[in-house]
Amino acid sequence: MQIYRGHVLVCAGTGCVASGSRNVQAEMEKQLEAFNLDKEIKLVETGCHGFCEMGPIVIVYPEGIFYCRVQPEDVKEIVEEHLLKGRPVKRLLFKNQITEEMVPHYKDIDFYKKQNRIVLGNCGFINPENIKEYIARDGYEALAKALTQMTPEQVIEEIKAAGLRGRGGGGFPTGLKWEFARKAPGDKKYVICNADEGDPCAFMDRSILEGDPHALIEGMAIAAYAIGSDEGYIYVRAEYPLAIKRLKIAIAQAHELGLLGEDIFGSGFNFKLNIKEGAGAFVCGEETALIASIEGRRGEPRVRPPFPANKGLWGKPSNVNNVETFANVPRIIARGSQWFADMGTEKSKGTKVFALTGKVKNTGLAEVTMGITLREIIYDIGGGIIDDKKYKAVQIGGPSGGCIPEELLDLPIDYDSLISAGAMMGSGGLVVMDEDTCMVELARFFLNFTQMESCGKCTPCREGTKIMLDILERITKGEGKEGDIELLQSLAETIKSTSLCGLGQTAPNPVLSTLRYFRDEYEAHIKDKRCPAGACTALASYRILEDKCIGCTSCARVCPAKAISGEVKKPHKIDPAKCIKCGACIETCKFNAIVKQ
């Protein structure tokens, strides 16, 4: 085997690829050859590091030097200075946002310091297209242990004792779900992975699929053994082409080594895995809808019971879990339930991956121990609010979740604390909002999403979300009426209690939680026809500041409604009756002379 004195890891996750990491990788290959280093330094294409904001990311080992926003033209300098002469390139290091100090080492960066990367432990460290790198990090040991040393019942007990709960939203105990499927009568059973990550702004499953696909495969194989199944399906979004490609490679490699297929580890256990590409429907995240979609039908949910554990795919007992849940399984089996149960809060064990986005300085994926506070995630890991603006709220759990205001920032996060705060864990999207975000507009945004994604099967969801959306649209346009808030509340309660599936049952949450914490903003829109955040266009007005306007006429020329008039070299004026509030004038003005109020 070839021994290398160093490794250069180039991130090939979707975020970094979008920032140009493919070109960086190609240039690195060229430069390593040019400097005759290709026999000494190994170039590795990895999955996502989670710090997409700083991409393309390049890490050099053994030192663990972390380079960010690397461009192809920087590569030669890294190779010549760092790899050849041993002097890290200072200008490409990560700079601490507060102290402005350079932070050369991966593990010292604030973004990573407070994280506890278990599920994401391999992402960014191994080449996801090479099964041997996964095996070198103890991959498939858990499957071997389960198949050769444990009975299926023991596997289920272990998962139950660990306290693992579903990471896709509901938080149902995973071991219990497996037990239902195990006990359901039937000779053919299915294991299904929900990789239809549809929540806007949650991309942890994508990162696992792209960065550590074998963890999912191993987790599914263990689940199949536990419930007595020999066939599995991974239902993955067609919008994730790279994830699909890597999954296919991983499945083929696992087959080749006999880790999938017939008589695995000589135990007599067989397991076959299929990939199904979703075709774009948010409701397919609901398990009965997902099963309908695998069967080739419209992805509409049905009444439960019977639960999929008894009547699932093709009417056979089936167990559906999401990607992050399965990826936890090999770690629990390998290290034991006690190790896992020691992490987290009383009822929520282990870690959760959050997708931290919105108006925070450091965006990306953060895996943290359950029970951490939102303040730690947003300020310590996320580095605080962009431009040091004022924090307003964080939306947690996507369109099914709710917002958490400043006074609850010190709430320890777990499944149950979030529910009592009017939000939910959901799949773990965390979108941070500052003072410029209008909460009524945000509620409208989410309702617009759920209304469009409603499958139309049941009336409360189909009609109810539409009526709620109409009301919210009126309010944000300044046409709100007395009684709108009460009507929204009563509709929300009805939709929540009478919808068929989770989509409808949770769709009103963003409205209810913004009403709970930001009722004054609704009232300002309805009573004073004013948007406190200045975000609702229809309620805004534009004005030219006379002392700043030099009369260059560029705003008047760009105005599509001819609402701006004035003589050359004299301050201009906007006619509010003609103004359509498009904002083109602000974009054009070079003198900051136009303000939106």
Where does this chain bind other proteins (CB under 8 A)? 14-15, 17-19, 51-53, 55, 197-203, 206, 238-241, 276-282, 293-300, 314, 355, 357-359, 363-364, 395, 398, 429, 431, 433, 437, 442, 445-446, 449, 453, 455, 583, 587
Question: Minimum distance from CB of 19 to other proteins (Å)?
Answer: 6
Pick between residue 245 and residue 529 the one whose CB is nearest to other proteins: 245
Pairing of strands 391-396, 429-434: antiparallel
Pick between residue 155 and residue 243 the one whose CB is nearest to other proteins: 243
Structure tokens at 594: 């136009």
Report how far apart the first and last C-alpha atoms of the chain are (Å, whole number). 67
Question: Minimum distance from CB of 165 to other proteins (Å)?
Answer: 23
Pick between residue 37 and residue 472 the one whose CB is nearest to other proteins: 472
In eight-state DSSP terms, residue 342 is T
Question: Minimum distance from CB of 203 to other proteins (Å)?
Answer: 4
Pick between residue 51 and residue 125 the one whose CB is nearest to other proteins: 51
Pairing of strands 318-322, 190-195: parallel
Strands in 269-277's sheet, in edge-to-edge order, are 261-264, 269-277, 231-236, 190-195, 318-322
Pick between residue 37 and residue 425 the one whose CB is nearest to other proteins: 425
Pick between residue 124 and residue 163 the one whose CB is nearest to other proteins: 124
| Cα–Cα distance, 559 to 237 (Å, whole number) | 42
Question: Minimum distance from CB of 119 to other proteins (Å)?
Answer: 17
194: nearest Cα among 237, 163, 247, 165: 237
- What crossing angle do the helices spanning 484-498 and 509-527 adopt, rounded to 10°? 170
Could you tell me which residues come within 8 angstroms of residue 337 by beta carbon, excluding any fewer than 6 positions away?
A: 158, 159, 160, 161, 162, 163
Question: Minimum distance from CB of 88 to other proteins (Å)?
Answer: 24
| Cα–Cα distance, 149 to 590 (Å, whole number) | 72
Question: Minimum distance from CB of 168 to other proteins (Å)?
Answer: 15
Pick between residue 97 and residue 345 the one whose CB is nearest to other proteins: 97
Helix (H, G, I), strand (E, B) or coil at 37: coil
Question: Minimum distance from CB of 433 to other proteins (Å)?
Answer: 6
462: nearest Cα among 497, 489, 490, 500: 500
| Alpha-carbon distance values, 214 to 77, 162, 221, 234, 235 (Å) | 35, 21, 10, 13, 16
Pick between residue 335 and residue 466 the one whose CB is nearest to other proteins: 466
Strand partners, 373: 412
Pick between residue 300 and residue 367 the one whose CB is nearest to other proteins: 300
Pick between residue 32 and residue 385 the one whose CB is nearest to other proteins: 385
Question: Minimum distance from CB of 238 to other proteins (Å)?
Answer: 6
In eight-state DSSP terms, residue 361 is S
393: nearest Cα among 412, 421, 369: 421
Question: Minimum distance from CB of 302 to other proteins (Å)?
Answer: 15
Pick between residue 357 and residue 369 the one whose CB is nearest to other proteins: 357
Could you tell me which residues come within 8 angstroms of residue 524 by beta carbon, excluding any fewer than 6 positions away?
A: 530, 531, 532
Question: Minimum distance from CB of 56 to other proteins (Å)?
Answer: 11
Question: Minimum distance from CB of 438 to other proteins (Å)?
Answer: 10
Question: Minimum distance from CB of 335 to other proteins (Å)?
Answer: 30
Amino acid in the structure at residue 502: G
Residues 417 and 411: beta-carbon distance below 8 Å: yes
Phi-psi group of 150: left, alpha or beta (phi > 0 → left; psi -120 to 50 → alpha; rest → beta): beta
Pick between residue 216 and residue 455 the one whose CB is nearest to other proteins: 455
Pick between residue 227 and residue 236 the one whose CB is nearest to other proteins: 236
Buried b (16+ CB within 10 A) or exposed e, 85-111: eeebbeebbbbeeeeeeebbebeebbb
Question: Minimum distance from CB of 67 to other proteins (Å)?
Answer: 17
Pick between residue 17 and residue 471 the one whose CB is nearest to other proteins: 17
Angle CA(58)–CA(359)–CA(511) in degrees, nearest 5? 135
Question: Minimum distance from CB of 418 to other proteins (Å)?
Answer: 17
| Alpha-carbon distance values, 263 to 216, 225, 255, 271, 273 (Å) | 20, 12, 11, 8, 14
Amino acid in the structure at residue 423: A
| Alpha-carbon distance values, 230 to 264, 271, 463 (Å) | 11, 4, 42
| Number of C-beta neighbours around residue 554 at 10 A | 15
32: nearest Cα among 43, 23, 20: 43
